[in-house]
Structure formats: structure tokens, C-alpha cells
Structure 1
Amino acid sequence: MNERRIDTAHTPEPRHAIVTGADSGIGRAVAVALAAQGMDVGITWHADEQGARDTAEEVRGYGARAVVAHLDATDIPGCGEVVDRLADDLGGLDVFVNNAGAGASTPLLEVSLDEWRRVVDTDLTGAFVCIQRAALRMVSARRGGRIIAVSSVHEHQPRVGSSAYDAAKHGLGGLIETAALELGRHGITANTVAPGEIATPMTGQTDEDPTTIERPGIPLGRPGDAREIAAVIAFLASPEASYVTGASFVADGGMLLMGPQAGSHLTSDDWRAP
């Protein structure tokens, strides 16, 4: 492409955002945090339509517009069309947060091809389609933009029983790094946020206060709150993060310092003694 380079130091305030998988957990917290920053938000859901509508009500509580759509990340390339429709409904796209994801806990020797495809399509191939579609909209609009992918600590370190998930999250990290290289000339930043254990439906902790849950294997001693991840994403979506790209922000309470097996499997604080 030969388009004139965007002045990355003076990109406009973001006005329109899309957050996939925003019917609960991290996605909901992110949608609300971006609305609090003054953005209208496109919200997608896969299985919980009412959850997405509840998120939309929270967004509207900040005086922002909310648009809701169903998105199945394994519907390739149909999921990209959802991004386009939401961007049209919002009137533009400045921030795209790829949060939709799926996990698995099956040993390598037992993973079926169907399970592998489901996880990799959701966490990597579908993410690629949606990210590419969002980037095309941003390049065309010539306003710069922010692409943020919710990854995992397993973007950086593997975990026993998570071969498909680990492969997809490693791939997502590489995809975002390449996006940062190629999209920088258009004023578009691309970063990942890599959470550790967060008290969300994916970890079976819906509506639990993470400060009441003990995790001896995590230096901070507890899981994270979805709003703690949303705060990192809200920063990356803001003008203050205009010089941050190609980075992976780990938000895990120190889990990676312990190794992902130790972080979630240690049952006592004995390790804290010298």
C-alpha cells in the first residue's frame, strides 16, 4: 500500500469500539470501561443473548450507545461480516477488542480433531478474520485505531492439558506482533493483554469476589477481577497509549513468575519461605 502515513502522535479521540464476547466476564467489564471513556460500543455474544443485553444497559448508563449482535467465531468468514455490520451501525470503528474465546483441558494424546478445530478456530482463525476486518475499516477511515486481543498467560508459557489452547494463544500473540509491524504506518496500534486466572464464567467463578478466593500459588494470593483486566485494556484503547504497540501486557498477579502449573496448583504457602 502507498497511502500517506498517518500522524500517529495526533490521532483523534476514539469514539466507536467493538468488544467481542461481551456478554459476561472480561468482555462485559471492557465494554463498560470503554463506555466510561465516552465510546459507543458494539457488543457481541455467542450463547448468552440476555447477558449481552445486560451489558448494553450498563453501557447506556454512561450515556453511550450500545449495539448488540450475535457472533460465532467459528463461523469463518461470517464472523467478519458481523464486525462490518456493527461498525456500520456505530458509524465507525476506532477500537477493536478481540475477547471471544474458548478453552479446553484435554491431554495432547486425547485431543480430537474436532476439539482442536473448535478451539483454534475460535481463539485464532476467527480472531484473525475479525481483526483483519477491523483493520481494513480503520485503514480506510484514516483515523488510526487500536486493536487489542485478550490473550492469556498461556500466550507465553504452556500448561499441561491445553495443547489446542496454548497453540492458539501463542499464534494470537504472533498475529498481533505482525499486525503491529504492518499497521503502524496507518496509526493503528496492536497489543495483547494476557490475563492469568480471572474470576469469570470461564473459570467457574461467576459472581464470586476474587478477594475471598485463596490461591497460594499466585504471589498476590488470589485470582483477578475482570475489571482489573478491563483497566489495562482501557488504557491501551486511550490516546495515552499512542506509542505502545506490539506489546503483551501480562496481568496475572505474578502467576508467570511461578510457572502456570505452580500458580494454579500449589495448595500451601510453603514456597514463600526462603
Structure 2
Amino acid sequence: MTEFGTQARRAIVTGADSGIGRAAAVALAAAGMDVGITWHSDREGAERTADEVRTHGARAVVTQLDVSDIPGCGDVLDGLIHELGGVDVFVNNAGTGAQKPFLELSLDDWNRVMDTDLTGAFVCLQRAARAMAAAGRGGRLIAVTSVHEHQPMVGASVYDAAKHGLGGLMKNLALELGALGITAVSVAPGEIATEMTGNDDVDPHTVDRPGIPLGRPGDAREVAALIAFLASPEAGYITGASIVVDGGMLQMGPQAGAAITAHDWRSL
């Protein structure tokens, strides 16, 4: 049985040009890791992330990655792993979504989200896991899913399906890769103040969310702190879990249902 060691580590974070990805890359650098940073359409954002990573004395390698390019995304990841000299922590963060009622969802919409959030994630996770297995040092696979890995949302059928699938894949990886010292954990954020939720560069403490027990969205750095912990040797006995970071949002299911007095929730 292989055990994940405490030697100098190399991490890769996909979709690290902004939001949770950027915060995770910086948090991993602060923990002493060199970081591979991927971007899809915002190269300047990725370079800003790299600048922050380097302020912690860590090496940053920036590469464009289109996770929906299958299987080409795997070849890009292989190249990044080679340039870093290996990978010990892989954070699958890149993702997308589609807000459409199920009856109006096109096959193109379905394929675009599935290719990015699930099939592309599978390809990248497999390439990272193969590199870890070949190195024989163990490793950490961390997938950023969503609270919608656990509960659905009206108008997000394909996103929900992809995140459910990714969460299930991570559980299977925990079973299959544990003997290699490779852990697999999902991080499931709720509403986080990022570009994706329309609150980029906003102090989440200034945003009122009555439906969340903590009363606000989360900060990307709060999610990143969990990712950095899961990447550490101290988290060595955590695998196959999905850890929710949502300010208590998921606990509001029955409570929110009792408080709803109109049928507005049935439509986007």
C-alpha cells in the first residue's frame, strides 16, 4: 500500500484564471506547492493568478486547456504534468452550465455541458491519476462539484446530471485508487461570490441571502482553504467523501419548502 508523502509537491488547478480556481491555486502555492494553471478564454486572468502564485515563492506554469476538447484535453494535461516534473495534487475545477428548462434543452447544450463537466473531467482525472500511479508517491484528486451534486435546481437538468455523475466518479476513484495512496474527494460549493454567480470582486458579507443560514454567499478563499487542507498530508484519511461548502444552504430543503407561498419557483 502506497502512502502519500510529505515531499515537495506539484499541483494543477484547471480553470484557475478566476474565482475558486484562482483562490485554490494561490492557497496551494501558499502551502508550498508549485502550481500548473490552466485557462480556457481568459489568459490575462491566468497570468494574474500566476503572479499571485509567485509571490509565495512558488513556480507557476500557465497553459490553455479546453476541457471539452476530448481527448485533446488529456494530451494538454500530460504536457503540463511533464513541464511541472510530475503532479501530486490535481484539482478539477473547470466547468460550465446551462440555464434552460428541460423541455427546451438542446442536444448541443447537453453535450457541451457534459463534455466539460463530466467527460472532460474524466479524461483529465485519469491522466493525472495515471501520472500519480506511475510515480508511486500517492496523490490527491480533488473535484469541484456543486451543492447540485446533492440536490437539483429548476432549469439546470444537464448541470445537475453532470455534477451528480462527477461526484459518483470520485467515489469510484476512491475505491480503485486507495491502494495506490491516491485519495479522491469532491468539494461541493453553494453560492460563492465569483464571476459565475454575478458577484465577482464583491465582499460576500455585503450581499444579503435570507435563504442561506449564514445569510450571505461564500468567499472563493473559503472554498480554497478546504482544497488546500484536502491536498495536505493531514487529510490523508479522507477519501470518497463529498464535502459541502454552502453556508448551510442544503439544510434549508424542508424549511424553504414550508416557506414558499407561490409557484414562481417552477420557472426560470
Q: What is the match of residue 104 of structure 1?
A: 98
Shift of 1:15: 1.1
1:34 aligns with 2:28: yes
For 1:136 and 1:101, the matched residues in 2 are separated by 22
Q: Which residue of 68, 73, 79 corresponds with 1:79?
A: 73
Q: What is the match of residue 134 of structure 2?
A: 140
Give the TM-score normalised by the residue count of structure 2.
0.94
CA RMSD of aligned residues (A): 1.7
Q: What is the match of residue 158 of structure 1?
A: 152
Pairs within 5 Å for 1:198-237: 198-237=192-231
The verdict on how the C-alpha distance between 1:49 and 1:261 changes in structure 2, with shifts beyond 3 A counting, is: farther
For 1:47 and 1:11, the matched residues in 2 are separated by 35
The one-letter code sitting in structure 1 at the alignment partner of 2:165 is G
For 1:246 and 1:93, the matched residues in 2 are separated by 20
Moved over 4 A (4+): 260-263
For 1:155 and 1:63, the matched residues in 2 are separated by 35
For 1:161 and 1:262, the matched residues in 2 are separated by 18
The one-letter code sitting in structure 2 at the alignment partner of 1:29 is A
The one-letter code sitting in structure 2 at the alignment partner of 1:107 is P
5+ long unaligned stretches in structure 2: 261-268
Deviations 1:14-56 (A, max 9, x none): 5100000000000000000000000000000011000000000
1:143 partner SS: coil
Q: How many residues align?
A: 260
The verdict on how the C-alpha distance between 1:126 and 1:71 changes in structure 2, with shifts beyond 3 A counting, is: same
The one-letter code sitting in structure 1 at the alignment partner of 2:54 is R
Preserved CA contact (<8 Å) 1:12 1:143: no
Deviations 1:41-74 (A, max 9, x none): 0000011000000000000000000000001111
For 1:241 and 1:13, the matched residues in 2 are separated by 15
Q: What is the match of residue 256 of structure 1?
A: 250
Q: Which residue of 190, 194, 199 corresponds with 1:196?
A: 190
Shift of 1:99: 0.1
Q: What is the match of residue 271 of structure 1?
A: none
For 2:198 and 2:256, the matched residues in 1 are separated by 19
For 1:88 and 1:136, the matched residues in 2 are separated by 13
Q: What is the match of residue 270 of structure 1?
A: none
For 1:262 and 1:56, the matched residues in 2 are separated by 41
5+ long unaligned stretches in structure 1: 267-274
The one-letter code sitting in structure 1 at the alignment partner of 2:80 is L
1:95 aligns with 2:89: yes
Pairs within 5 Å for 1:178-197: 178-197=172-191
Give the TM-score normalised by the residue count of structure 1.
0.92
1:69 aligns with 2:67: no
Preserved CA contact (<8 Å) 1:99 1:150: yes
2:129 partner SS: helix
For 1:39 and 1:155, the matched residues in 2 are separated by 29
Q: What is the match of residue 266 of structure 2?
A: none
Deviations 1:171-207 (A, max 9, x none): 0000000000000000000000000000001111111
